[in-house]
Amino acid sequence: MSFVNENQLVSEFNELNISDKDSISLKITNHKNCYDPDNKKFWCKGCVPRCIIEGWTSGNDDIDNFIKDTIYNAGSYGYPIFLEWVPFDRFENLKQIGEGGFAKVYSATWIDGRAEYYKEDDGSWIKKEPKPIEVALKRLNGSQNMSADFLNELKMHWRLYWIANNSLKFYGMTKDTKTKEFMMIMKLVDGGNLRNILLSDFNNIMWDRKLAYLSNIAMDLKNLHSLGFIHKDFHSGNILGGLYISDFGLSGPSNEQKSDNKIFGVLPYGRIINWKSPFHNRNHDNNLALEICNGLRPKFGKGTPEIYIKLAHKCMNANPNQRPTAKELRKILKCWCYFSNHEKYEYKGFEEANNEIPNILNSYEKNLNDIYTSRAFTFKNLSKPINSSFIATSYLSEEDNEDCQDSQLIDLEVPNTLKFEEHWLTI
């Protein structure tokens, strides 16, 4: 019979991170170099607290691996941030607050709230006391068998949140015990989507607030594009609180084209703040889609500043390479926010446009065949989109109508003398 050295046995046992003490406090040893919060490093796979990585499962290997990857590569907002798997019975007071083409959204109380861990001087990780918070639960229709599109939404949303803490917060995942559909746990945003905000409070939303909405949206788009992805389902129903872009299920690389002839999204252009609902007096069908490809564009409300109309038409250029980038839009819109009536830079007309806002709302008539949820359109031999002759001659430069790579923001440049910090624009 062989005997094992007692000190060696104790040392090997301690390295297993097994303890009869409360798992909320867990001592980590021999991994000093793993802790570098300034560079978003808190632990490695060997020293991550076992109570975070073990003792749970979603029942789906793809979801489990995705959540564990966010734990191993936790971000940092003063403490490690990662996704959690949360049992469905840890939520109460569920109430449906929205529905789109691919999901239903509920408000709920998360009884335990988000897990926050802090490292003690002795190397142990301490979990902050649980605190209930209000959250949004997004139930992904038909997600019992997690498809590539659903998993893509989870990954894209997490990547955006990881690089930009001013994007929509993504806390974790759960599963409806009745339907077996997966649900995303996210920040609950006051006011709902941008479409609902505009319809419910249009008369009180002045142009300074509209420009602030647009600037924040451009910031989120800029961050998404910095990852090399585009949204592909961008409309006012997918913009929450006028601040956050959501619904990334169809997002993909900017150079990737679908081969199934399907186009997803809301047919009319998303509301661009001061319009009536685009094409509100038309059926939203294939005929309208074809007319848009042939140069049809929405009309603007009375009093809309001419400089804004010019920028909007550039954004709707039939040639994608001639549209402003999200970075350029962010820069222009921030400038308008702070100098909207500054004669030196000729950014005039926004104050006068405020007087026309009640007239725009009063003239709105909704067509019962309007559809404002995402859906698929299938086309065969779709013609190449063009600009209308009126828009091309009135609002676009000669370069804008050429097939070149760089957008030409003629007469919309931001003075080089203006410097802004990103945190200046908050609403």
Q: Are strands 182-187 and 80-81 parallel, antiparallel or unpaired?
A: unpaired
Check whether residue 34 and residue 57 sit in a common domain.
yes
d(CA 135, CA 246): 15
| Structural domain harbouring 328 | 194-424
- Which residues have CB under 8 Å from 141's CB, separation 6+? 102, 103, 104, 181
Check whether residue 304 and residue 181 sit in a common domain.
no
Across 298-320, average pLDDT: 84
User: What's the whole-model pTM score?
Assistant: 0.73
Across 245-255, average pLDDT: 59
Q: Report the length, in residues, of the chain.
A: 427
Q: Where is the domain boundary, 187, 218, 247?
A: 187
- Which residues have CB under 8 Å from 421's CB, separation 6+? none
Point out the least confidently predicted range of 80-84, 260-264, 329-333. Answer: 260-264
- Which residues have CB under 8 Å from 404's CB, separation 6+? 321, 322
Mean pLDDT over the full length of the chain: 75
The DSSP output letter for 193 is: B
Is 237 domain-assigned? yes
Tens of pLDDT, residues 106-163: 999 999 999 999 888 887 888 888 899 999 999 988 888 877 778 887 888 898 888 8
Q: Where is the domain boundary, 154, 187, 220?
A: 187
Check whether residue 143 and residue 246 sit in a common domain.
no
Check whether residue 295 and residue 348 sit in a common domain.
yes
Annotated ligand binding at 128? The verdict is: yes
**Selected residue with higher pLDDT from 328 and 236:** 328
Is 98 domain-assigned? yes
Check whether residue 216 and residue 304 sit in a common domain.
yes
Tens of pLDDT, residues 339-376: 765 555 566 778 888 888 877 665 555 554 555 555 56
Whether pLDDT at 384 is above 80: no
Q: What percentage of the chain reaches a pLDDT higher than 90?
A: 18
Is 361 domain-assigned? yes
Point out the least confidently predicted range of 142-151, 193-202, 220-229, 259-268. Answer: 259-268
- CATH number of the domain within which 322 lies: 1.10.510.10
Tens of pLDDT, residues 50-75: 889 899 999 999 999 999 999 998 88
Is 123 domain-assigned? yes
Q: Where is the domain boundary, 166, 187, 208?
A: 187
